[in-house]
Amino acid sequence: MYSTRGIEAVATITELRSNTSELVEHAKKIERGILVQKNNEPYAVLVSYDLYIDLLEKAQELEAKKGKGK
């Protein structure tokens, strides 16, 4: 079994293929991502663009802090 920490919803690849628009809209409305499974294993996470940008900025801040510590 794998951890779904931080994930609010789970969908399969088949559901993503069949209900792409609905899942994208749902991902935009929730604060955390939708875990996409393939063969009952975690495969990807669908997140809103705003959440993606927020995560990217936080990752860049952490990298900058690491660089200053060298």
Statement: the pTM of the whole predicted model exceeds 0.75:
yes
Question: Quick one: CATH architecture of 9-68?
Answer: 3-Layer(aba) Sandwich (3.40)
Distance CA 35, CA 61 (A): 25
Task: Convert the pLDDT of each residue in 9-43 to its tens digit.
Answer: 999 999 999 999 999 999 999 888 999 999 999 99
Q: Domain-by-domain residue ranges, the chain?
A: 9-68
Looking at per-residue confidence, does 1 or 63 come out higher? 63
Look at residue 3 in the predicted model and tell me its pLDDT. 63
How far the first Cα of the chain sits from its last, in Å, is: 38
